[in-house]
Amino acid sequence: MKTKDLIAEAIDLPVDERVMVVDSILKSLSPPESGIDKKWVRVARQRLKELRSGEVEAIPGDDVFQKMWKRFSS
C-alpha cells in the first residue's frame, strides 16, 4: 500500500479512530518517558492547588488568544 492510499484510508475513518491512529504515530516518533510524565503530573497538581486556593487567577482562553493575535499579527 502506498503512503498516499494509507492517508486517504485513514482520513475516511471515524474521528475517534483517526485520533487513535495519530496518537499511535506520534508515540512511535517520541515514546513517552515515565520520568517526564511524573514531573508533569506534579506540576499539574501544584497548579491546580494554586488555582483552587486563589493563589493564582485563571485567565480565560479567549483573552489569551486575543492577546497572542494582537502581539503576533503584523
* Domain limits, the chain: 34-72
CA 44 – CA 52 distance, rounded (Å): 12
Q: What is the pLDDT of residue 34?
A: 79
Q: What is the pLDDT of residue 72?
A: 92
CA 11 – CA 17 distance, rounded (Å): 10
Q: What is the pLDDT of residue 37?
A: 84
Q: What confidence tens digit (pLDDT) does each residue in 1-42 have? A: 899 999 999 999 999 999 999 999 998 998 878 788 889 999
Q: What is the pLDDT of residue 1?
A: 81
Q: SS3 of 13, please? A: coil
Q: What is the pLDDT of residue 32?
A: 75
Query: All 3 cell numbers of residue 74?
Result: 503584523
On the question of pLDDT at 67 being above 80, the answer is yes
Measured CA to CA in angstroms, residue 24 lies from 7, 17, 19, 21 at distances of 14, 11, 8, 5
